């Protein structure tokens, strides 16, 4: 009975989100309350499920604090203005610039944070240029999901899988970064077709006004740059030393240092920065982990994922591809983070050594790229939808699907072909 209630609650949350009936955080929170009132979880058990995912939540929180603290510097607004200026009135150049800038940010910060950095400045820019902002937000989300594969901190999913596969920050790069490069290349190749309305757009540069935010003096940027370099150095040092420099600890440490710098330079007090954090996204993630925990503890998700795992185990020569495409298909309706969390234990029991790495890779790529199809597939997608609604844009599920599905299919097919070649060579 608990399994049916957990499954029905989860599907109801997905329906509410896909139907734009209520916001994703409200839907996830309502689902959590249903589980508690239904006796599936007690409040302490729900809190324990949320606490078990503290590392992912801490990583995301730290990145959000850093992004918010740096926003008053004007660097993000000027970056958006620079992209438009360099585009020289051509939509094609603007789309390529947005994709590449998003890729750079998402390689260093979690993908939802990349959307939070660029989204708020792209919407007013689009309005100045008399362009539709919704396709730009969708592009940022898809680019963030794709480039999140470049490093283990670019996506909560990459972090979770890296932990399960025993990959550190430096070991991740040769193992999986190429898949991120390939995913970005596919996205760039599809821009002229999927975003054709913006690709052929033209506008006079006279429409664009200069950013009003004053840029900080150069001497202020030095401490900020130093903090960023130390953060990246610690990621590497954690792999080369016995000091526990975990990504979540580093992110929180960087957030603490950035908060101090922000207050010192008059960029905002600690209370102001924390007040402006997108807590709704964190609430959504926390409740999602609770919902997933209910599915896992009651055996509901194991029954569904087990079918995929059984098929893969029965055909070891095709296990990688089965997991890749199966995970991609499931992630179109199930948010990729909880799906990957549920699949990791099954994958770990299917093989050993290098074989497990290949299976983990398939789950990661399927979940990350399959999540590009729908607005509920990834956290970056839901963050983009939330930003759209904050700016008065009613982004519908069909709107996201029309752009996201072709990208998802092309990326999964391309990466699947690559994995097939790798497996043929390996076998």
Q: Annotate 317-339 with DSSP letters as a single string.
A: GGHHHHHHHHHHHHTTTS-HHHH
Q: What percent of the chain has pLDDT over 90?
A: 11
β-pair partners for 202: 90
Burial of 187 (0-12, 13-18, 19+ CB in 10 A): buried
Q: What pLDDT score was predicted for residue 40?
A: 82
Taking the C-alpha atoms of residue 91 and residue 224, their distance in angstroms, rounded to an integer, is 33
The residues near 97 (Cβ < 8 Å, ≥ 6 apart) are: 83, 86, 87
Number of domains comprising the chain: 1
pLDDT tens by residue, 266-305: 767 777 778 777 787 778 778 877 887 787 777 776 676 6
- Kindly report the pTM of this predicted structure: 0.75
What are the structure tokens assigned to 372, written together?
Answer: 């590009």
3-class secondary structure, 349:
coil
What's the rounded mean pLDDT across residues 332-340?
79
Q: Are 32 and 290 in contact (CB under 8 A)?
A: yes
Range of the domain at 157: 2-426
Give the pLDDT confidence score for residue 375 in this predicted structure: 83
Q: Supply the Cα-derived Rg of the chain in whole angstroms.
A: 21
Higher per-residue confidence, 402 vs 345: 402
Range scoring the smallest mean pLDDT among 82-86, 136-140, 207-211: 207-211
CB 174 within 8 A of CB 142: no
* Per-residue pLDDT at 139 exceeds 90: yes
Highest mean pLDDT among 172-181, 370-379, 390-399, 411-420: 370-379
Amino acid 140: pLDDT:
93
Q: Alpha helices, DSSP H only, in 52-155?
A: 54-70, 75-87, 91-108, 111-128, 133-147
Contacts from 130-134 at CB under 8 Å and sequence distance 24+?
A: 130/203, 130/207, 131/91, 131/198, 131/201, 131/203, 132/197, 132/198, 133/388, 133/391, 133/393, 134/388, 134/393, 134/395, 134/399
Beta-carbon contacts of 393 under 8 Å, excluding residues fewer than 6 positions away, are 123, 133, 134, 137
CA angle (338, 339, 340) in 5-degree steps: 95
Cβ atoms within 10 Å of 303's Cβ, excluding its own: 12
Query: ∠ CA 384-116-168 to the nearest 5 degrees?
Result: 105
DSSP-derived 3-state class of residue 90:
strand
For residue 90, list its beta bridge partners.
202
């Amino acid at each position: 009975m608990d399994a049916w209630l957990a499954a029905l609650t989860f599907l109801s949350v997905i329906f509410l989100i896909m139907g734009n009936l209520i916001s994703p955080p409200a839907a996830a929170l309502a689902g959590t309350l249903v589980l508690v009132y239904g006796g599936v979880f007690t409040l302490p058990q729900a809190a324990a499920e949320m606490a078990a995912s503290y590392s992912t939540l801490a990583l995301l929180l730290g990145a959000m604090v850093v992004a918010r603290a740096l926003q008053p510097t004007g660097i993000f607004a000027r970056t958006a203005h620079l992209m438009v200026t360099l585009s020289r009135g051509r939509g094609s150049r603007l789309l390529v610039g947005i994709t590449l800038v998003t890729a750079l940010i998402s390689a260093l910060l979690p993908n939802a944070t990349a959307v939070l950095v660029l989204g708020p400045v792209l919407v007013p820019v689009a309005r100045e240029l008399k362009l539709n902002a919704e396709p730009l937000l969708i592009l940022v989300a898809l680019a963030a999901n794709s480039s999140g594969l470049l490093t283990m901190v670019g996506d909560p999913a990459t972090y979770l899988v890296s932990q399960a596969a025993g990959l550190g920050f430096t070991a991740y790069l040769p193992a999986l970064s190429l898949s991120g490069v390939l995913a970005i290349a596919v996205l760039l190749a599809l821009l002229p077709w999927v975003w054709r309305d913006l690709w052929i757009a033209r506008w006079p540069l006279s429409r664009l006004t200069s950013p009003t935010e004053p840029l900080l003096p150069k001497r202020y940027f030095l401490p900020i740059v130093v903090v960023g370099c130390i953060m990246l150095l610690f990621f590497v040092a954690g792999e080369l030393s016995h000091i526990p420099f975990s990504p979540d600890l580093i992110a929180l440490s960087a957030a603490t240092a950035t908060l101090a710098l922000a207050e010192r330079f008059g960029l905002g007090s600690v209370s102001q920065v924390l007040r402006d954090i997108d807590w709704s996204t964190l609430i959504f993630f926390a409740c999602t982990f609770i919902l997933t925990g209910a599915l896992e503890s009651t055996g509901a998700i194991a029954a569904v994922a087990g079918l995929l795992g059984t098929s893969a185990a029965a055909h070891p020569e095709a296990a990688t591809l089965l997991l890749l495409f199966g995970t991609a298909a499931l992630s179109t309706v199930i948010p990729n983070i909880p799906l990957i969390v549920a699949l990791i234990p099954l994958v770990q029991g299917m093989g050993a050594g290098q074989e497990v790495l290949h299976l983990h890779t398939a789950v990661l790529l399927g979940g990350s790229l399959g999540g590009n199809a729908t607005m509920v597939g990834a956290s970056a997608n839901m963050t983009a939808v939330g930003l759209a609604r904050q700016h008065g844009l009613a982004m519908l599920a069909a709107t996201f699907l029309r752009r996201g599905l072709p990208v998802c299919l092309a990326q999964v097919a391309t990466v699947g072909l690559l994995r097939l070649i790798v497996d043929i060579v390996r076998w």
